[in-house]
Amino acid sequence: AQKITQTQPGMFVQEKEAVTLDCTYDTSDPSYGLFWYKQPSSGEMIFLIYQGSYDQQNATEGRYSLNFQKARKSANLVISASQLGDSAMYFCAMRVNFGNEKLTFGTGTRLTIIP
Amino acid sequence: GAGVSQSPSNKVTEKGKDVELRCDPISGHTALYWYRQRLGQGLEFLIYFQGNSAPDKSGLPSDRFSAERTGESVSTLTIQRTQQEDSAVYLCASSSPAGGKNEQFFGPGTRLTVL
């Protein structure tokens, strides 16, 4: 079985500062994918970034980067130069490849950017 | 192009009534997923369709829950004899499995309230 743990229920960060959202995962499968989604108050789920278990380099998408430490089974999301619009819930999720395509989600971190 | 759509956006029903929730995936996406999100929590997987077959129904919480999909198109999630614990946002997602990222695109969700 897969499990995602997000230990930060809420975070407050000053605008323009960088922020790291923690995510650890557990799986015995060697091939998997890790995802981060953003959920604003409107409720939509917005895909941010993806990291494959065999990817050699950390994923980056604009201001988002994923700090992937495979041995530690961690996949932290780093948001650089935070903006007021970054205030939202952030979910880490995992998919084990081959067969079962479902995403297993963590409980989320509520990020609030302070002006 | 059009994203994933869901209807209704909100549904209020009385305990014991049946409800049907609808999902229209992105055209051409062969995979379709249903998730449930209780207030303040992460997403729980319910069921996964590949085409119109459902290889993974492991997340359906009870036999009151069922889902079907017509071809590689619309899906309906039916909850019979609704209970107050069924109150949640029901999210649908679709993807076009082709290995790699296989990103899931989410709809806006249906907020179900059982009185």
pLDDT single digits (tens) A1-42: 889 999 999 999 999 999 999 999 999 888 899 999 999 998
Give B100 to chain A, closest Cα distance, Å. Answer: 7
Mutate to test the interface with B, among A45, A53, A97 (most CBs of B within 10 A): A45
- CB–CB contacts below 8 A, A to B: 58
Sequence-distant (≥ 6) Cβ neighbours of residue A44 within 8 angstroms: B106, B108, B109
Query: Which amino acid, B27?
Result: S
- 3-state SS, B59-88, equals CCCCCCEEEEECCCCCEEEEECCCCHHHCE
pLDDT single digits (tens) B28-87: 898 999 999 998 889 999 999 988 888 788 899 999 999 999 877 999 999 999 999 999
Sequence-distant (≥ 6) Cβ neighbours of residue A54 within 8 angstroms: A31
Q: How many CB atoms lie within 10 A of CB A110?
A: 15
Which B residues in the span 17-76 are in contact with A, Cβ-Cβ below 8 Å? 31, 33, 35, 41-45, 48, 50, 55-56, 59
Tokens of B62: 């009870």
Core vs surface per residue A69-97: b (16+ CB within 10 A) or e: eeeeebbbbbbeebeeebbbbbbbbbbbb
Reply yes or no on whether the pLDDT at A113 is more than 90: yes
Sequence-distant (≥ 6) Cβ neighbours of residue A57 within 8 angstroms: none
Give A102 to chain B, closest Cα distance, Å. Answer: 7
Q: Which residues in chain B are contacts of A101 at CB distance < 8 A?
A: 31, 33, 48, 50, 56, 95, 97, 102
Contact between residue B81 and residue B94 where contact means Cβ atoms under 8 Å apart: no
Reply yes or no on whether the pLDDT at B101 is more than 80: no
On the question of a cis peptide bond just before residue B25, with omega within 30 degrees of 0, the verdict is no
CB contact under 8 A, B59 and A47: no
Reply yes or no on whether the pLDDT at B100 is more than 80: no
Give B45 to chain A, closest Cα distance, Å. Answer: 7
Of residues A68 and A43, the one with the higher pLDDT is A68
pLDDT at B50: 87
- Band the pLDDT of B1: cuts 50, 70, 90: low
Q: Which residues in chain B are contacts of A108 at CB distance < 8 A?
A: 41-42
CA separation (Å) from B91 to A10, A26, A90, B45? 23, 24, 16, 10
